[in-house]
């Protein structure tokens, strides 16, 4: 099996067959600029499981970024500087 690619929430998920322990796939997640956001060497035993795991990582990263943005906006509205 060759590499599989999927676009999800503005990110590219690349699955590569790679057997390690109980996993058969590695996932690499990159942003729109091609920067690597995450590498999951043991993403899943099937391609479907590996894609689902990679999507969860993307969702987590997006939620984390949204949280950081909201906190920064609240601090700016209060006239406070950036968090140290």
Instruction: Establish if 83 belongs to a structural domain.
Output: no
Instruction: Establish if 70 belongs to a structural domain.
Output: yes
Instruction: Establish if 18 belongs to a structural domain.
Output: yes
Instruction: Establish if 81 belongs to a structural domain.
Output: no
Please write down the long-range contacts of 28-36, taking CB distance under 8 Å and 24 or more positions apart: 29/54, 29/57, 29/58, 29/61
Q: What is the pLDDT of residue 1?
A: 66
Instruction: Establish if 64 belongs to a structural domain.
Output: yes
Q: What is the pLDDT of residue 43?
A: 94
Tokens of 15: 């699955």
Q: What is the pLDDT of residue 63?
A: 93
Instruction: Establish if 36 belongs to a structural domain.
Output: yes
Per-residue pLDDT averaged across 13-17, rounded?
Answer: 96
Q: What is the pLDDT of residue 74?
A: 83
| Distance (Å) of CA 49 to CA 20, 31, 38, 74 | 15, 21, 16, 38
Tokens of 63: 């939620």
DSSP H or E run through 25: strand 23-30
Instruction: Establish if 19 belongs to a structural domain.
Output: yes
Q: What is the pLDDT of residues 26-84, one digit of tens each?
A: 999 999 899 999 999 999 999 999 999 999 999 999 899 888 888 888 888 888 877 65
Q: What is the pLDDT of residue 82?
A: 72
Instruction: Establish if 24 belongs to a structural domain.
Output: yes
The verdict on pTM exceeding 0.95 is no
Full domain range(s) for residue 42: 4-75
Domain count, the chain: 1
């Amino acid at each position: 099996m060759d590499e599989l690619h999927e676009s999800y929430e503005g990110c590219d998920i690349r699955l590569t067959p790679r057997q390690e322990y109980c996993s058969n796939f590695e996932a690499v997640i990159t942003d729109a600029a091609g920067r690597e956001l995450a590498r999951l060497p043991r993403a899943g035993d099937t391609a479907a499981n590996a894609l689902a795991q990679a999507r969860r990582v993307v969702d987590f990263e997006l939620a984390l970024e949204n949280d950081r943005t909201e906190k920064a906006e609240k601090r700016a509205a209060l006239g406070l500087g950036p968090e140290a």
